Amino acid sequence: MVYENILIERRGEGPRQTGLITLNRPKQMNALNDALMDELGAALKAFDADAGIGCIVITGSEKAFAAGADISAMVNFNLEDSYGGDFITRNWETIRTIRKPVIAAVAGFALGGGCELAMMCDFIIAADTAKFGQPEIRLGIIPGAGGTQRLPRALGKAKAMDMILTSRMMDAAEAERGGLVSRVVPFADLMTVTLAAAESINELSAMSVMMAKESVNRAFEGTLADGVMFERRLFHSLFATADQKEGMNAFLSKRKATFKQR
Ligand code: CAA
Protein backbone atom coordinates (compact mmCIF):
# COMPACT_ATOMS: atom_id res chain seq x y z
CA MET A 1 0.00 0.00 0.00
CA VAL A 2 1.23 3.52 -0.76
CA TYR A 3 0.92 5.67 2.34
CA GLU A 4 -0.08 9.29 1.79
CA ASN A 5 -1.48 10.23 5.20
CA ILE A 6 0.95 8.46 7.51
CA LEU A 7 4.72 7.94 7.66
CA ILE A 8 6.20 4.53 8.38
CA GLU A 9 9.63 3.82 9.86
CA ARG A 10 11.51 1.04 11.64
CA ARG A 11 13.50 2.10 14.69
CA GLY A 12 16.05 0.24 16.82
CA GLU A 13 19.05 -1.99 16.30
CA GLY A 14 18.19 -5.36 17.85
CA PRO A 15 16.80 -8.49 16.21
CA ARG A 16 13.31 -7.10 16.88
CA GLN A 17 12.63 -3.45 16.18
CA THR A 18 9.92 -0.86 16.70
CA GLY A 19 7.38 -0.01 14.00
CA LEU A 20 6.85 3.76 14.13
CA ILE A 21 3.69 5.21 12.55
CA THR A 22 3.40 9.02 12.33
CA LEU A 23 -0.01 10.48 11.49
CA ASN A 24 0.68 13.04 8.79
CA ARG A 25 -2.09 15.41 7.72
CA PRO A 26 -0.45 18.55 9.13
CA LYS A 27 -2.79 21.09 7.50
CA GLN A 28 -5.83 19.39 9.06
CA MET A 29 -4.26 18.83 12.51
CA ASN A 30 -4.16 15.11 11.64
CA ALA A 31 -7.96 14.95 11.38
CA LEU A 32 -8.80 11.29 10.85
CA ASN A 33 -10.52 10.56 7.54
CA ASP A 34 -11.18 7.24 5.81
CA ALA A 35 -7.98 7.34 3.76
CA LEU A 36 -5.85 7.84 6.90
CA MET A 37 -7.70 5.19 8.91
CA ASP A 38 -7.39 2.68 6.02
CA GLU A 39 -3.65 3.33 5.87
CA LEU A 40 -3.26 3.14 9.66
CA GLY A 41 -5.06 -0.21 9.71
CA ALA A 42 -2.90 -1.58 6.90
CA ALA A 43 0.33 -0.39 8.56
CA LEU A 44 -0.67 -1.84 11.93
CA LYS A 45 -1.48 -5.20 10.34
CA ALA A 46 1.79 -5.24 8.39
CA PHE A 47 3.86 -4.55 11.52
CA ASP A 48 1.84 -7.11 13.50
CA ALA A 49 2.64 -9.76 10.88
CA ASP A 50 6.36 -8.84 10.73
CA ALA A 51 8.48 -11.12 12.95
CA GLY A 52 11.19 -8.44 13.04
CA ILE A 53 8.88 -6.01 14.86
CA GLY A 54 8.30 -6.32 18.62
CA CYS A 55 6.29 -3.21 19.40
CA ILE A 56 4.43 -0.45 17.54
CA VAL A 57 4.34 3.29 18.32
CA ILE A 58 1.73 5.71 16.95
CA THR A 59 2.49 9.42 17.14
CA GLY A 60 1.39 12.70 15.56
CA SER A 61 3.00 16.13 15.30
CA GLU A 62 4.13 18.68 17.85
CA LYS A 63 0.78 20.51 17.47
CA ALA A 64 -1.60 17.58 17.29
CA PHE A 65 -1.67 13.87 17.86
CA ALA A 66 -5.04 14.12 16.07
CA ALA A 67 -7.86 16.68 16.31
CA GLY A 68 -10.57 14.06 15.84
CA ALA A 69 -12.56 12.51 13.05
CA ASP A 70 -12.53 14.69 9.93
CA ILE A 71 -15.54 16.97 10.36
CA SER A 72 -15.56 18.03 6.69
CA ALA A 73 -15.88 14.37 5.63
CA MET A 74 -18.95 13.71 7.79
CA VAL A 75 -20.75 17.06 7.86
CA ASN A 76 -23.31 15.89 5.28
CA PHE A 77 -23.62 12.30 6.49
CA ASN A 78 -27.13 10.92 6.91
CA LEU A 79 -28.15 7.71 8.69
CA GLU A 80 -27.46 5.65 5.58
CA ASP A 81 -23.88 6.96 5.50
CA SER A 82 -23.23 6.55 9.23
CA TYR A 83 -25.15 3.42 10.21
CA GLY A 84 -25.49 1.93 6.71
CA GLY A 85 -21.83 2.56 5.93
CA ASP A 86 -20.76 1.23 9.37
CA PHE A 87 -18.83 4.45 10.02
CA ILE A 88 -16.01 4.01 12.59
CA THR A 89 -16.36 0.22 12.87
CA ARG A 90 -15.39 -0.31 9.23
CA ASN A 91 -11.81 0.90 9.61
CA TRP A 92 -11.12 2.28 13.12
CA GLU A 93 -11.34 -1.02 14.94
CA THR A 94 -8.38 -2.75 13.24
CA ILE A 95 -6.18 -1.59 16.11
CA ARG A 96 -8.17 -3.81 18.49
CA THR A 97 -7.05 -6.88 16.53
CA ILE A 98 -3.32 -6.09 16.86
CA ARG A 99 -1.59 -8.57 19.15
CA LYS A 100 1.70 -6.73 19.65
CA PRO A 101 1.84 -3.79 22.06
CA VAL A 102 0.84 -0.43 20.57
CA ILE A 103 2.02 2.69 22.43
CA ALA A 104 0.62 6.17 21.74
CA ALA A 105 3.12 9.04 21.97
CA VAL A 106 0.93 12.13 22.31
CA ALA A 107 1.91 15.79 21.97
CA GLY A 108 -0.50 18.68 21.40
CA PHE A 109 -4.20 18.09 20.77
CA ALA A 110 -5.73 14.62 21.16
CA LEU A 111 -9.39 15.50 20.67
CA GLY A 112 -12.50 13.52 19.83
CA GLY A 113 -11.46 10.56 17.70
CA GLY A 114 -7.83 11.54 18.38
CA CYS A 115 -8.31 10.99 22.11
CA GLU A 116 -10.23 7.80 21.34
CA LEU A 117 -7.46 6.52 19.05
CA ALA A 118 -4.89 7.17 21.80
CA MET A 119 -7.11 5.28 24.27
CA MET A 120 -7.32 2.32 21.88
CA CYS A 121 -3.54 1.99 22.18
CA ASP A 122 -2.21 -0.14 25.04
CA PHE A 123 -0.83 2.85 26.91
CA ILE A 124 -0.21 6.53 26.36
CA ILE A 125 3.01 8.42 26.99
CA ALA A 126 2.25 12.15 26.89
CA ALA A 127 4.36 15.22 26.30
CA ASP A 128 3.79 18.05 28.77
CA THR A 129 2.10 19.87 25.87
CA ALA A 130 -0.61 17.23 25.40
CA LYS A 131 -4.28 18.21 25.67
CA PHE A 132 -7.01 15.59 25.77
CA GLY A 133 -10.67 16.24 25.09
CA GLN A 134 -13.96 14.86 23.78
CA PRO A 135 -15.57 17.98 22.27
CA GLU A 136 -18.11 16.11 20.08
CA ILE A 137 -21.04 17.45 22.12
CA ARG A 138 -20.36 20.89 20.64
CA LEU A 139 -20.90 19.40 17.17
CA GLY A 140 -24.27 17.96 18.13
CA ILE A 141 -22.94 14.41 18.33
CA ILE A 142 -21.32 12.20 20.98
CA PRO A 143 -17.98 10.39 20.94
CA GLY A 144 -18.30 7.55 18.42
CA ALA A 145 -15.03 5.64 18.64
CA GLY A 146 -15.35 4.30 22.19
CA GLY A 147 -14.89 7.53 24.16
CA THR A 148 -17.97 7.14 26.35
CA GLN A 149 -16.76 3.66 27.35
CA ARG A 150 -12.97 3.98 27.59
CA LEU A 151 -12.79 7.42 29.21
CA PRO A 152 -14.82 6.42 32.32
CA ARG A 153 -12.78 3.23 32.61
CA ALA A 154 -9.57 5.29 32.50
CA LEU A 155 -10.61 8.33 34.55
CA GLY A 156 -13.75 7.36 36.47
CA LYS A 157 -17.26 8.65 35.92
CA ALA A 158 -16.89 12.19 37.31
CA LYS A 159 -14.03 13.31 35.11
CA ALA A 160 -15.33 11.44 32.05
CA MET A 161 -18.77 13.05 32.35
CA ASP A 162 -17.15 16.46 32.92
CA MET A 163 -15.04 16.12 29.76
CA ILE A 164 -17.77 14.65 27.57
CA LEU A 165 -20.58 16.98 28.71
CA THR A 166 -18.66 20.25 29.04
CA SER A 167 -16.03 19.46 26.38
CA ARG A 168 -13.29 20.89 28.58
CA MET A 169 -9.77 19.85 27.71
CA MET A 170 -7.54 18.06 30.18
CA ASP A 171 -3.82 18.85 30.29
CA ALA A 172 -1.11 16.22 30.55
CA ALA A 173 -0.56 16.63 34.30
CA GLU A 174 -4.25 16.09 35.09
CA ALA A 175 -4.39 13.18 32.64
CA GLU A 176 -1.51 11.51 34.45
CA ARG A 177 -3.06 12.13 37.88
CA GLY A 178 -6.32 10.62 36.66
CA GLY A 179 -4.68 7.57 35.06
CA LEU A 180 -5.40 8.33 31.42
CA VAL A 181 -1.69 8.43 30.57
CA SER A 182 1.11 6.35 32.02
CA ARG A 183 3.86 9.00 31.97
CA VAL A 184 4.35 12.70 31.17
CA VAL A 185 7.68 13.86 29.81
CA PRO A 186 8.98 17.15 28.38
CA PHE A 187 8.03 17.45 24.71
CA ALA A 188 11.70 17.30 23.68
CA ASP A 189 12.01 13.85 25.30
CA LEU A 190 8.73 12.34 24.05
CA MET A 191 10.10 10.16 21.26
CA THR A 192 13.31 9.17 23.10
CA VAL A 193 11.34 8.00 26.14
CA THR A 194 8.63 6.26 24.08
CA LEU A 195 11.11 4.49 21.80
CA ALA A 196 13.13 3.38 24.84
CA ALA A 197 9.96 1.89 26.35
CA ALA A 198 9.27 0.12 23.04
CA GLU A 199 12.87 -1.09 22.85
CA SER A 200 12.65 -2.62 26.33
CA ILE A 201 9.56 -4.55 25.18
CA ASN A 202 11.31 -5.65 21.96
CA GLU A 203 13.92 -7.48 24.05
CA LEU A 204 11.33 -9.61 25.85
CA SER A 205 9.72 -12.92 24.97
CA ALA A 206 7.03 -12.11 22.38
CA MET A 207 4.66 -14.76 23.64
CA SER A 208 4.64 -13.52 27.21
CA VAL A 209 4.25 -9.93 25.96
CA MET A 210 1.23 -10.83 23.80
CA MET A 211 -0.35 -12.87 26.57
CA ALA A 212 0.17 -10.05 29.08
CA LYS A 213 -1.57 -7.62 26.72
CA GLU A 214 -4.42 -10.04 26.05
CA SER A 215 -4.88 -10.70 29.75
CA VAL A 216 -4.88 -7.01 30.80
CA ASN A 217 -7.47 -6.30 28.10
CA ARG A 218 -9.69 -9.00 29.60
CA ALA A 219 -9.93 -6.84 32.73
CA PHE A 220 -12.09 -4.42 30.76
CA GLU A 221 -14.22 -6.91 28.90
CA GLY A 222 -15.66 -9.38 31.38
CA THR A 223 -16.14 -10.16 35.06
CA LEU A 224 -13.27 -10.21 37.55
CA ALA A 225 -13.65 -13.97 38.05
CA ASP A 226 -13.50 -14.63 34.28
CA GLY A 227 -10.52 -12.33 33.92
CA VAL A 228 -8.57 -13.94 36.72
CA MET A 229 -9.25 -17.42 35.31
CA PHE A 230 -8.20 -16.28 31.82
CA GLU A 231 -5.00 -14.85 33.25
CA ARG A 232 -4.31 -18.05 35.23
CA ARG A 233 -4.56 -20.27 32.14
CA LEU A 234 -2.26 -18.04 30.07
CA PHE A 235 0.14 -17.94 33.01
CA HIS A 236 0.14 -21.75 33.17
CA SER A 237 0.74 -22.08 29.43
CA LEU A 238 3.89 -19.93 29.53
CA PHE A 239 5.63 -22.75 31.44
CA ALA A 240 5.62 -24.60 28.12
CA THR A 241 7.99 -22.04 26.58
CA ALA A 242 11.78 -22.12 26.42
CA ASP A 243 11.76 -18.41 27.17
CA GLN A 244 10.30 -19.03 30.63
CA LYS A 245 13.20 -21.43 31.39
CA GLU A 246 15.70 -18.91 30.06
CA GLY A 247 14.17 -15.97 31.96
CA MET A 248 14.08 -17.74 35.30
CA ASN A 249 17.47 -19.44 34.92
CA ALA A 250 19.04 -16.13 33.90
CA PHE A 251 17.63 -14.50 37.03
CA LEU A 252 18.94 -17.27 39.28
CA SER A 253 22.36 -17.12 37.54
CA LYS A 254 22.41 -13.31 37.90
CA ARG A 255 22.78 -12.77 34.13
CA LYS A 256 20.68 -11.00 31.47
CA ALA A 257 18.16 -13.26 29.72
CA THR A 258 18.52 -13.96 26.00
CA PHE A 259 15.07 -14.86 24.73
CA LYS A 260 14.75 -17.18 21.71
CA GLN A 261 11.09 -16.43 20.99
CA ARG A 262 9.91 -19.97 21.49
N1 CAA B 1 -11.81 17.84 11.16
C2 CAA B 1 -11.52 18.55 10.06
N3 CAA B 1 -10.66 19.58 10.05
C4 CAA B 1 -10.10 19.94 11.21
C5 CAA B 1 -10.38 19.27 12.40
C6 CAA B 1 -11.27 18.15 12.35
N7 CAA B 1 -11.58 17.40 13.44
N8 CAA B 1 -9.67 19.84 13.39
C9 CAA B 1 -8.97 20.84 12.84
N10 CAA B 1 -9.23 20.91 11.51
C11 CAA B 1 -8.71 21.88 10.53
C12 CAA B 1 -9.38 23.22 10.69
O13 CAA B 1 -10.63 23.24 10.03
C14 CAA B 1 -8.36 24.13 10.05
O15 CAA B 1 -8.47 24.04 8.65
P16 CAA B 1 -8.29 25.37 7.73
O17 CAA B 1 -6.89 25.82 7.97
O18 CAA B 1 -8.53 24.85 6.35
O19 CAA B 1 -9.30 26.36 8.21
C20 CAA B 1 -7.03 23.49 10.46
O21 CAA B 1 -7.33 22.15 10.80
C22 CAA B 1 -6.37 24.15 11.65
O23 CAA B 1 -7.33 24.21 12.68
P24 CAA B 1 -7.68 25.57 13.48
O25 CAA B 1 -7.51 26.77 12.60
O26 CAA B 1 -9.02 25.38 14.14
O27 CAA B 1 -6.49 25.57 14.56
P28 CAA B 1 -6.53 26.13 16.05
O29 CAA B 1 -5.12 26.02 16.52
O30 CAA B 1 -7.21 27.43 16.14
O31 CAA B 1 -7.43 25.05 16.87
C32 CAA B 1 -8.19 22.86 17.50
C33 CAA B 1 -7.02 23.72 16.98
C34 CAA B 1 -8.51 23.25 18.95
C35 CAA B 1 -7.72 21.44 17.43
C36 CAA B 1 -9.45 23.10 16.60
O37 CAA B 1 -9.09 22.91 15.26
C38 CAA B 1 -10.61 22.19 16.91
O39 CAA B 1 -11.35 22.42 17.86
N40 CAA B 1 -10.81 21.13 16.07
C41 CAA B 1 -11.97 20.28 16.11
C42 CAA B 1 -11.91 19.34 17.30
C43 CAA B 1 -13.14 18.47 17.33
O44 CAA B 1 -14.28 18.93 17.42
N45 CAA B 1 -12.93 17.12 17.29
C46 CAA B 1 -13.99 16.16 17.31
C47 CAA B 1 -14.35 15.72 15.92
S48 CAA B 1 -15.76 14.64 15.87
C49 CAA B 1 -15.17 13.10 16.28
O50 CAA B 1 -13.99 12.91 16.51
C51 CAA B 1 -16.19 11.99 16.33
C52 CAA B 1 -15.70 10.71 16.90
O53 CAA B 1 -15.86 10.47 18.07
C54 CAA B 1 -15.07 9.72 16.07
- Region of 105 (left: φ > 0; alpha: ψ -120 to 50; beta: rest) is beta
Beta strands 6-11 and 131-133, pairing class: unpaired
32 — phi, psi (to 5°)? -95, 105
Catalytic residue among 19, 54, 113, 144: 113
Give the pTM: 0.95
List the chain pLDDT tens, one digit each, 262 residues. 899 999 999 999 999 999 999 999 999 999 999 999 999 999 999 999 999 999 999 999 999 999 999 999 999 999 999 999 999 999 999 999 999 999 999 999 999 999 999 999 999 999 999 999 999 999 999 999 999 999 999 999 999 999 999 999 999 999 999 999 999 999 999 999 999 999 999 999 999 999 999 999 999 888 878 878 888 888 889 889 999 999 989 999 999 999 999 9
State yes or no: is 112 an active-site residue. no
State yes or no: is 198 an active-site residue. no
Catalytic residue among 66, 69, 154, 160: 69
Atom 39 of ligand 1, nearest CA residue:
67
8 A C-beta contact, residue 85 and residue 37: no
